[in-house]
Structure 1
Amino acid sequence: MRLVRFLLRYYPPGIILEYEQGSQTRTRTIDLLDLTERSNIYELVAQLQANEPLITPSKTDQVAKLLLKLQSKLSSPDKHHYNHYKTIRTHVLPVTNVSFNKSGSKFVSGSYDRTCKIWDTHKGQELHVLDGHKNVVYAVAFNNPFADKIVTGSFDRTAKLWSTETGKCYHTFKGHTAEIVCVTFNSSSTLVATGSMDTMGKIWDVETGVEMASLQGHNAEIISIQFNSLGDKIVTGSFDNTVAIWDVETGHKISSLIGHRGEISNAVISYDDTLIGTGSMDKSCKVWDCRSGQCLETLYGHTDEVLDISFDHRGKQLLSVSADATARVFDVGSYKCLATFVGHEREISKGTFNPSGKRVATASSDKTVRIWDINSGKCLQTLEGHSDEVFSCQFNYSGDMLISGSKDNTCRLWKDANSGKLAGAL
């Protein structure tokens, strides 16, 4: 093996090794999820050299400089201020979901008008109309980080796989007997998973379109589905109050996470595959050990249904948003509530961390998106302009742009005009 170069990954922090093995160029990623502003860089370099043969003593100074650059990025203040950039009237009927590709250069929207559309983010230009579903297109997803394919899930009981570049439909996945409400790719983009109101999840081969496994065991609709980063397990959340962990290869259930007393609103896996976070209509969140299936902690504080949850990029913090019009951030290590965000006038349906994990965006039925500071708990900005409920918000990879989707049939793009590009970031 011969090392070709190092690449930095800012979110979450890590170093990517590009190397040659035989005639092929390969990559290997070293996650640095515990890197902090106080980490001793040269001790960390020594640890990396002990575990990674490609990092030889001759590379010590180079690796140290990269780690210092990452450390500097972690310690730099987040000063993004978002201004309205574009309003895009995406569909003739309400939008159901929107999602960026990894870089944020494109986004995809699904709608009640039975179509999905691909957009150029910066130009606000429609690139392709993905037409073919016979009912509402409810769920959409890019195969990030590649972003050359899109999967859509529809109330017509089918999912479709599309080319991002041409808009061509590669496959129509048929087999569900009720509406499909959640879709996702595995990290290598070889598999698609779908979850349906027929109580089943299904796994499909991207290349052939063939059904690889049927996940049977829930007794109510599946409303969330996610592969772990290794791609060997999949997690489903259901209205039967439970979450299930499945073996991807066999489709067999590994364990059921039982403990919530209300319907599951979302189930998410931390970046390092060690934890599962769940939110429920029982007004609580839970954190589970992904390997053992044991509940590690129940997080209380909301006075109404928890409608969405998410981990930050490192898996160190958990965000919950609620019908009580508040959001909360919990430290996953201590399970303490770090901040409670109060200011929305109606329920919050969606919440997300920015890439640095220092800010949170929340989308609300009060027609606004709010940006919050995690350390102070203060609302930094209220993004106004939508004329109906805002149900979706998402940052791009660099954190200098935000997209919001609303029942007013529009997506609004919000941009920090003073922000530059992240040189060298992946």
Structure 2
Amino acid sequence: MKLKRFLLRYYPPGIIVEFERGVSVSTRAIDLLDLSPETDVEELLVEIQRSEPLITESHVDQVKHLLVRLQEKLSQQDQRSFSSSKELKAHVLPLTNVAFDKSGSRFLTGSYDRTCRVWDTASGGELHTLQGHGNVVYAVAFNNPYGDKIATGSFDKTCKLWCAESGKCYHTFRGHKAEIVCLAFNPQSTLVATGSMDATARLWDVQNGEQVSTLMGHSAEVLCLSFDSSGGQLVTGSFDHTLAVWDVASGRCLHVLTGHSGEISNVQFNWDGSLIVSGSMDKTCKLWEPLEGVCVATLSGHSEEVLDVTFDLSGRLLASGSADGTARLYSTDTRQCLATLEGHGGEISKVCFSPQGRWLLTAGSDGTARLWDVRSGVCLQVLQGHRDEIFSCAFNYEGDAIITGSKDNTCRIWT
């Protein structure tokens, strides 16, 4: 093996080692989830050298420089407020979802009007209208971090793969027997996973457009799914009250996770793949260890259904949003509730952390999105202007722009 170069990853902090093995190029990630501005760089360097044989003495100064850059990034203060810079009348019918590419320079909107649209964030101009679906476009995603492909999942039972630059349709994935309601690219951008109301998830090959496997076992609709950061495992959540953990290479079910008494609203791996969080209509969240397939904590406190859950990028915090109009912040270490975020006038359908993990964004049926300080639980800002429920929201990679999508048929860019 021969070291080729280092790549810096700001969120979560890490260094990607790119190396040659024969004629192929591979990468390994050095995750630095514990890095802080106070970390002793010299001690960390020794630890990194011990764990990564490709980093020899000749590379120490370069790695030290990268660590200092990461510390400087972590030291930057988030003292800003957001204002609505653009309102886009995005579609003639209500939006279903929004998604940024990694850089935040473009974003997607899906709609009941059967299209997905690609937008330039800076200008608010439309770049492409992706047409061809015969029903609602419900799920949309860029293949981040690359950003050169787009996947759309529709109520017409198909998923389409598009060129992000030209808007050309590469493939139409056919096989599901009912509506597609969730999808995701694996981290390597070689596969797309789709979940459907037909109680299955399917894996599709990005290159040739062929189906790789059908993940069967749920007895009701598959509403949510998530790859781990290695792309080796996929978790699915279903209306049958269970989660399933799948081996991606073989398509084999590794574990069925039981314990919820209501439908699953969302599932997600933490960054290192050591935990899964699930939210449920039974008013609870659960933490699971995927290796053993066991529940390690039940997080209660909400008085109504949990509609969304998410980890921050460090995996040490998670947030839940509920129909009771509150969001909650939990520690994954202590499994305790750190704060209850109150202020919305209706249910909270979406929660997401900023990439730096210092803010939480919530979207509500009261037509507002709210920005919260994670450390104090204080509401920093109310993003007002939409005239109907906000059902989707997202940060860009740098955390300095926000998109909100609403049932008022508009999306707004906040910078």
Counterpart in 2 of 1:307? 307
TM-score with structure 1 setting the length:
0.94
Report the 3-state secondary structure (helix = DSSP H, G, I; strand = E; otherwise coil) of the residue aligned with 1:12: coil
Please identify, of 47-56 and 134-143, the stretch whose mean Cα deviation from structure 2 is larger.
47-56
1:159-178 aligned within 5 A? 159-178=159-178
Report the 3-state secondary structure (helix = DSSP H, G, I; strand = E; otherwise coil) of the residue aligned with 1:73: helix
Report the 3-state secondary structure (helix = DSSP H, G, I; strand = E; otherwise coil) of the residue aligned with 1:223: strand
1:346-385 aligned within 5 A? 346-385=346-385
- The CA deviation at 1:366 is 0.4
Counterpart in 2 of 1:128? 128
Report the 3-state secondary structure (helix = DSSP H, G, I; strand = E; otherwise coil) of the residue aligned with 1:292: coil
2-side partners of 1:163 and 1:298: how far apart? Answer: 42
2-side partners of 1:24 and 1:173: how far apart? Answer: 29
1-side partners of 2:86 and 2:30: how far apart? Answer: 38
Q: 1:59 to 1:207 in 2, by over 3 A?
A: closer
Please, which runs of 5 or more residues in structure 2 have no aligned partner?
none
Report the 3-state secondary structure (helix = DSSP H, G, I; strand = E; otherwise coil) of the residue aligned with 2:60: helix
1:297-336 aligned within 5 A? 297-336=297-336
Counterpart in 1 of 2:107? 107
Q: Does 1:86 align with 2:79?
A: no
Counterpart in 2 of 1:237? 237
- The CA deviation at 1:290 is 1.4
- The CA deviation at 1:3 is 4.1
Report the 3-state secondary structure (helix = DSSP H, G, I; strand = E; otherwise coil) of the residue aligned with 1:214: strand
Counterpart in 2 of 1:424? none
2-side partners of 1:208 and 1:7: how far apart? Answer: 29
Counterpart in 2 of 1:152? 152
For each residue in 1:169-189, what CA deviation from the matched residue of structure 2 results, as whole angstroms up to 9, or x when unmatched? 111111111111001111111
Counterpart in 2 of 1:31? 31
1:7-86 aligned within 5 A? 7-19=7-19, 26-86=26-86
What amino acid sits opposite 2:362 in the alignment? T
For each residue in 1:79-103, what CA deviation from the matched residue of structure 2 results, as whole angstroms up to 9, or x when unmatched? 1311111111110000000100000
Report the 3-state secondary structure (helix = DSSP H, G, I; strand = E; otherwise coil) of the residue aligned with 2:399: coil
Report the 3-state secondary structure (helix = DSSP H, G, I; strand = E; otherwise coil) of the residue aligned with 1:304: coil
Aligned length: 415
1-side partners of 2:217 and 2:185: how far apart? Answer: 21
Please, which runs of 5 or more residues in structure 1 have no aligned partner?
416-426
Q: 1:21 to 1:259 in 2, by over 3 A?
A: closer
- The CA deviation at 1:61 is 3.5
Identity score, percent: 58
- The CA deviation at 1:23 is 6.5
- The CA deviation at 1:251 is 1.9
Instruction: Determine if contact 1:338/1:374 at 8 Å carries over to the other structure.
Output: no
2-side partners of 1:311 and 1:202: how far apart? Answer: 24
1-side partners of 2:264 and 2:90: how far apart? Answer: 30
For each residue in 1:214-252, what CA deviation from the matched residue of structure 2 results, as whole angstroms up to 9, or x when unmatched? 111111100001222222221100011100011222222
For each residue in 1:103-133, what CA deviation from the matched residue of structure 2 results, as whole angstroms up to 9, or x when unmatched? 0111111100011111111111111111111
2-side partners of 1:283 and 1:36: how far apart? Answer: 35
Instruction: Determine if contact 1:237/1:267 at 8 Å carries over to the other structure.
Output: yes
Report the 3-state secondary structure (helix = DSSP H, G, I; strand = E; otherwise coil) of the residue aligned with 1:184: strand
Please identify, of 74-83 and 97-106, the stretch whose mean Cα deviation from structure 2 is larger.
74-83
Report the 3-state secondary structure (helix = DSSP H, G, I; strand = E; otherwise coil) of the residue aligned with 2:388: coil
Q: Does 1:227 align with 2:227?
A: yes
Report the 3-state secondary structure (helix = DSSP H, G, I; strand = E; otherwise coil) of the residue aligned with 2:236: strand
What amino acid sits opposite 1:36 in the alignment? S
Counterpart in 2 of 1:389? 389
1-side partners of 2:6 and 2:214: how far apart? Answer: 40
Q: 1:209 to 1:23 in 2, by over 3 A?
A: closer
Counterpart in 2 of 1:180? 180
2-side partners of 1:265 and 1:373: how far apart? Answer: 25
Q: 1:134 to 1:394 in 2, by over 3 A?
A: same
What amino acid sits opposite 2:163 in the alignment? S
Report the 3-state secondary structure (helix = DSSP H, G, I; strand = E; otherwise coil) of the residue aligned with 2:146: coil
- The CA deviation at 1:35 is 1.6
1-side partners of 2:265 and 2:23: how far apart? Answer: 47
- The CA deviation at 1:28 is 3.2
TM-score with structure 2 setting the length:
0.97
Q: 1:26 to 1:195 in 2, by over 3 A?
A: closer
Q: 1:330 to 1:147 in 2, by over 3 A?
A: same
- The CA deviation at 1:62 is 3.4
For each residue in 1:259-296, what CA deviation from the matched residue of structure 2 results, as whole angstroms up to 9, or x when unmatched? 01111000101111111000001111011001111111
- The CA deviation at 1:27 is 3.9
What amino acid sits opposite 2:133 in the alignment? H
Counterpart in 2 of 1:423? none
